[in-house]
């Protein structure tokens, strides 16, 4: 593609999302766990996380299937056809297979070919990472119209004998269509990682010689994650505000990774934002990892909560340990 003269910016042209039909309330999940001798309750889950329900994909439904639904909804909202897309990035930690990428599988399902397609693996920060990569490619003229998706089937890697983790996660997908613009949309981004914290949130399994080596189920030190998350989310938020020349008071909406209501509210308070400016979907979706931010964004846009022209802060934090933020004018 011919390189484009500057200035060149990136704007969100449309959003979309998809949740598998199977919805499990805390009470329903607790009843299933009780059959395996694992005790929990709606009250226990709500008090610690704010989660009341989550969605699980049916057997045979894979990450690219969820991504396809979300992608179609985003394309429709943007008024675009799949053939107009010249970049596909899928953020996921639960791909369909070892390779090829879920993005390539999605490309095939969309019926298009030729444009670059690849996955980004930064766990719950994945969508923020993917958005940042796509923004950079659009700004430099390497792409003009991108489909960026977060899609997860975390139910496949949960240990349903561990009540501290299996009640937290759900499945889903969220997507945005990004387009080159002569007016600023994405104002600033900020990404970080610290591999010293690998052990506090991981799925330490791999495939070798036709066998699974290690443990293929999610492990988490909840207290360690909580302490680190609250600190780095504030730091990253302030970094993008500084880069964009904006203040806390300029934020109309905060859409953080939907992991735990306490972390989310703690971040809002540190940014001196009223809780009314916090977009919350964790109660109905649970933690959908890389899908959580685009799911929440699409929900807020379609409900009329977030409107064109609003300034939005997106923040993610996840295993790796990874974290980052994006400030944008919708």
pLDDT at 7: 79
Where in the chain is CATH 3.40.47.10? Answer: 9-181, 186-329
The pLDDT value given to residue 242: 98
Angle 292-302/63-78 helices, nearest 10 degrees? 30
**Quick one: CATH architecture of 186-329?**
3-Layer(aba) Sandwich (3.40)
Minimal CA–CA distance to 59: which of 106, 22, 85, 28? 22
Look at domain 9-181 and name its CATH class: alpha beta
User: Mind listing the pLDDT tens digit of every residue in the chain (330 residues)?
Assistant: 445 556 799 999 999 999 999 999 999 999 999 998 999 999 999 999 999 999 999 999 999 999 999 999 999 999 999 999 999 999 999 999 999 999 999 999 999 999 999 999 999 999 999 999 999 999 999 999 999 999 999 999 999 999 999 999 999 999 999 999 999 999 999 999 999 999 999 999 999 999 999 999 999 999 999 999 999 999 999 999 999 999 999 999 999 999 999 999 999 999 999 999 999 999 999 999 999 999 999 999 999 999 999 999 999 999 999 999 999 999
* Residue/partner pairs of 246-251 with CB below 8 Å, 24 or more apart: 246/187, 246/311, 246/327, 248/272, 248/273, 250/311, 251/277, 251/311, 251/312, 251/313, 251/327
- Threshold 0.95, pTM exceeds: yes
pLDDT of the residue at 1: 45
Q: Annotated catalytic sites, by residue? A: 124, 257, 287
C-alpha 224/C-alpha 202 separation (Å) is 13
Q: State residue 6's pLDDT score.
A: 60
């Amino acid at each position: 593609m011919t390189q484009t003269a500057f200035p060149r910016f990136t704007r969100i042209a449309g959003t979309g999302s998809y949740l598998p039909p199977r919805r499990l309330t805390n009470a329903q999940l607790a009843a299933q766990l009780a059959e395996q001798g694992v005790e929990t309750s709606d009250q226990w889950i709500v008090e610690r996380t704010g989660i009341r329900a989550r969605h699980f994909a049916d057997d045979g439904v894979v990450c690219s299937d969820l991504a396809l639904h979300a992608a179609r909804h985003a394309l429709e909202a943007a008024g675009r056809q799949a053939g107009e897309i010249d970049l596909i990035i899928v953020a996921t930690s639960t791909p369909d297979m070892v390779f090829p990428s879920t993005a390539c599988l999605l490309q095939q399902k969309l019926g298009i070919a030729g444009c670059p397609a690849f996955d980004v693996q930064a766990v719950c920060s994945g969508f923020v990472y993917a958005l940042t990569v796509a923004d950079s490619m659009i700004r430099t003229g390497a792409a003009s119209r991108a489909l960026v998706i977060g899609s997860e089937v975390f139910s496949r890697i949960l240990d349903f004998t561990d009540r501290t983790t299996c009640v937290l996660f759900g499945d889903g997908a969220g997507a945005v269509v990004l387009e080159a613009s002569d007016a600023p949309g994405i104002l600033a981004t900020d990404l970080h990682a610290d591999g010293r914290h690998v052990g506090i949130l991981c799925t330490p399994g791999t495939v070798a010689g036709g066998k699974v080596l290690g443990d293929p189920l999610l492990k988490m030190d909840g207290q360690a994650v909580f302490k680190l998350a609250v600190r780095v989310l504030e730091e990253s938020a302030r970094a993008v505000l500084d880069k964009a020349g904006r203040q806390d008071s300029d934020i109309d909406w905060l859409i953080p990774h939907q992991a735990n209501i306490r972390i989310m509210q703690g971040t809002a308070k540190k940014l001196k934002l009223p809780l009314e400016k916090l977009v919350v979907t964790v109660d109905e979706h649970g933690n959908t990892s890389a899908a959580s931010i685009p799911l929440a964004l699409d929900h807020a846009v379609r409900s009329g909560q977030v409107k064109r022209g609003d300034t939005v802060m997106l923040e993610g934090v996840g295993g790796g340990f990874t974290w980052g933020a994006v400030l944008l004018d919708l």
